Amino acid sequence: MDEAAREILFHTFKAVIEDVIADKRKNPKNTTTLDEYRARINIGLHVEEEFILWVNLVAEGGKYVVNKGKLDDYDLQLISDPEDMMYFTNRKYSTLKMMFTKNRFGERRLLFSGGTSGRNYGKLLKLPKVLVLDGK
């Protein structure tokens, strides 16, 4: 994957996350969840057999920021194929499907590990309430 393709992928991923958050903000019942969720997450976008593009999501005080690279101090680390992550955010794939079925590389669709601050499974369990679009 060349540098231009990496830039496009990053900007597309960032736009998707920002759009999901903006859409969730339209529903007042999501306000508390979005404002209270605090996490520093490394997200690996598994785009080729031997290449993972790292981005990070920092959620604090109701603000969500997506940047390139890995954080040194983080709560969770996730790895997913970008297509699988898209299907997860638009509700086509459930959390269980993401955790227990395999992607095109033969890995689970969603690999996760705790961070430098501990296991933080509570942050992982609350993540779908933040990143997955509401049903219509």
Q: Which amino acid is located at 56 in the chain?
A: N
From the list 45, 60, 43, the residue with the least C-alpha distance to 5 is 45
Query: What tens digit of pLDDT does each residue of 23-41 get?
Result: 999 999 999 999 999 999 9
Q: Which of 42-51, 73-82, 89-98 has the lowest mean pLDDT?
A: 89-98
What pTM did the predictor assign? 0.89
Q: Record the tokens describing residue 83, joined without a space.
A: 């297509």
- Architecture of the domain whose range is 3-131: 2-Layer Sandwich (3.30)
Structural domain boundaries of the chain?
Answer: 3-131
* pLDDT tens digit sequence for 53-65: 999 999 999 999 9
pLDDT at 124: 83
